[in-house]
Amino acid sequence: MSGQKFVCDHPKISISLGVFMARKRITIRLVASDKEGGAIRLSDFINQLEAFLKALKETEHSLSGQDTSFVNYRVVDLSHASPYTVVIEGESRKESPVKADKVFTTFVSPSKDRTRRNR
């Protein structure tokens, strides 16, 4: 598993990623600030997951060059113990020009464009 930080716009939540390539899974770990008593607000949780899904889909579209989504993302595990974790699995359609493992590895690998955007 490789762990990297996913850029998070919210100062109260820290997100790290782990990728299990054999299973085409990404683990998202959300850590709330101590100011919130270790809890994450529902709206913050939803916003971060939506931002994460949007980033995955943008990665997928940049790889395929198409606006069509070829990977189905689903939640396969959740944990509410600190840190909160959400395990996402990608399943590519048979005719897909882009495979889930390629989306995940591209997403977590360093990118000049992403690095510039996050400064």
Give residue limits of the domains in the chain. 2-112
Residue 40's alpha-carbon distances to 10, 21, 46, 105, in angstroms, are 11, 28, 10, 28
Tell me the CATH number of domain 2-112, given options 1.10.150, 3.30.43, 3.30.428, 1.10.1750: 3.30.428
- The Cα–Cα gap between 119 and 103 comes to 23
> 19 pLDDT band (50/70/90 cuts)?
low
Cα–Cα nearest to 118, from 4, 2, 3: 4
- The Cα–Cα gap between 8 and 51 comes to 9
- The answer to whether residue 40 scores a pLDDT higher than 90 is no
- The Cα–Cα gap between 40 and 46 comes to 10
- The Cα–Cα gap between 26 and 102 comes to 12
Summarised one tens digit per residue, pLDDT across range 60-96 is: 999 999 988 899 999 999 998 777 888 889 998 888 8
Q: Taking residues 45-56, what's their average pLDDT?
A: 89
- The Cα–Cα gap between 77 and 26 comes to 10
**Spatial CB neighbours of 51, under 8 Å, sequence gap ≥ 6:** 8, 9
- Supply the pTM of this predicted model: 0.73
